[in-house]
């Protein structure tokens, strides 16, 4: 049996050969994955990994494709899309499969009168991907209400507590391991469903006003820059009129910085720095991954030479 046939024996028509990754990324960019599989159960993941192992094939696992830049050459291995998408609510405890959309969970919990996840209405991608990168926006982060996470580690299902996950700004232990997030539990609070729904609308409106939503992008491309010491703060103050909120948060908004560099609107081929928010590079039409990479390099070089700031990507590279 060919590898495709072996994979199809596990997931049926949810395995496709030479599948363009541009169909699965918010950037709408990316060459073909040699094999693409959508998995709906833990058993399916385990079996797919066994096949990958037997044939020494590379794998990469993803959820919503919202934070991925896949190379134009694609991925020479098995791309595994996590498609387990149920959630349960018991009292104030919420358990969501890794493939549940963060925004969907924000809406479902708000409608159930549970407080603590409304911020995630503006978060692209899935709960699993969100936990991996401790995604956040509008004052919330994945870690805030998280209790524990179920992962697949070395073929076994394990439960990891919040403490074991070592969360930081856009950081978690999962990012540095081969663990695959299967499900996540959150502890929320009782609230008023009407007020919570109004909060959802408010956050969606704020996002609409401050971020470009009409073109393909990976959300914020760079992490905000963390100011590591008082000396660093003083150094930056001589070069930049840092707003008070950034001084007290000890973090420079990458979007604000790119704006200061006068780079908004800069375009290389189809890749363009958004006019709306400097930390969004958008696919303005038929952009290639190479063009996005060139624009990333341009931004990083300018930030480093003009302000001595080393920007770090939030986006995950695949197949480079
Ligand atoms: N600003 C500008 N010009 C710009 C962009 C921003 O002047 O081009 C100013 C804004 O006016 C504001 C300040 O910079 O005064 C901060 O901007 P914003 O509120 O948009 O926040 P941010 O720090 O740039 C972070 C997250 C976003 C999240 C927003 C809203 C990171 C890297 N970014 O952006 O997350 O949606 O806050 O809470 O942490 C993402 O991670 O994909 C993402 C988009």
Q: What is the pLDDT of residue 45?
A: 98
Q: What is the pLDDT of residue 230?
A: 96
Q: Is 138 in the pocket of ligand 1 (CB under 6 A)?
A: yes
| Cα distances (angstroms) measured from residue 214 to each of 52, 59, 261 | 37, 31, 24
pLDDT mean for each 10 residues of the chain (320 residues): 97 98 98 98 98 98 97 98 98 98 98 98 97 96 98 97 98 97 98 98 96 96 97 95 96 98 98 98 97 98 98 97
Q: Kindly give, in sequence order, each residue whose CB lies less than 8 Å from that of residue 172, ignoring residues fewer than 6 positions away.
A: 131, 132, 133, 134, 143, 165, 166
Q: What is the pLDDT of residue 119?
A: 98
Q: What is the pLDDT of residue 210?
A: 96
> Measured in angstroms, how far is the CA atom of residue 253 from the centroid of ligand 1?
6
* Nearest-angstrom CA–CA distance, 29 and 290: 10
Q: What is the pLDDT of residue 117?
A: 98
Angle in degrees, CA 17, 21, 23, rounded to 5: 105
DSSP state of 224: P
Which atom of ligand 1 is the closest one to the Cα of 206? 30
Q: Is 134 in the pocket of ligand 1 (CB under 6 A)?
A: no
The size of the chain, in residues, is 320
Q: What is the pTM of this model?
A: 0.96
> Measured in angstroms, how far is the CA atom of residue 194 from the centroid of ligand 1?
27
């Amino acid at each position: 049996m060919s590898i495709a046939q072996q994979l199809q024996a596990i997931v049926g028509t949810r395995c496709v050969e030479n599948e363009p990754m541009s169909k699965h990324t918010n950037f709408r960019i990316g060459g073909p994955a040699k094999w693409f599989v959508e998995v709906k159960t833990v058993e399916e993941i385990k079996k797919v990994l066994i096949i990958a192992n037997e044939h020494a094939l590379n794998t990469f696992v993803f959820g919503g494709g919202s934070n991925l830049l896949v190379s134009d050459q694609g991925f020479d291995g098995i791309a595994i899309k996590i498609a387990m998408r149920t959630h349960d609510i018991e009292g104030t405890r919420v358990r969501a499969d890794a493939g549940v959309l963060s925004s969907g969970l924000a809406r479902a919990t708000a409608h159930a009168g549970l407080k603590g996840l409304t911020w995630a209405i503006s978060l692209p991608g899935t709960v699993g991907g969100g936990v991996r990168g401790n995604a956040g926006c509008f004052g919330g982060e994945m870690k805030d209400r998280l209790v524990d996470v179920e992962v697949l580690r070395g073929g076994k299902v394990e439960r990891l507590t919040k403490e074991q996950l070592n969360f930081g700004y856009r950081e978690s232990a999962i990012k540095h391991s081969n663990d695959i997030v299967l499900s996540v539990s959150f502890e929320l609070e009782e609230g008023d469903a009407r007020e919570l729904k109004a909060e959802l609308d408010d956050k969606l409106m704020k996002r609409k006003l401050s971020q470009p939503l009409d073109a393909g992008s990976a959300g914020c491309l760079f992490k905000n820059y963390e100011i590591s010491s008082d000396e660093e703060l003083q150094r930056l103050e001589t070069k930049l009129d840092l707003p008070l909120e950034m001084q007290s948060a000890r973090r420079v908004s990458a979007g604000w910085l790119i704006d200061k560099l006068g780079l908004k609107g800069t375009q290389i081929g189809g890749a363009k720095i958004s006019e709306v928010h400097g930390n969004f590079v958008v696919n303005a039409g038929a952009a290639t991954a190479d063009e996005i990479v060139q624009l990333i390099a341009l931004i990083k070089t300018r930030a480093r030479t003009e302000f001595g700031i080393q920007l770090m990507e939030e986006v995950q590279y695949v197949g480079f």
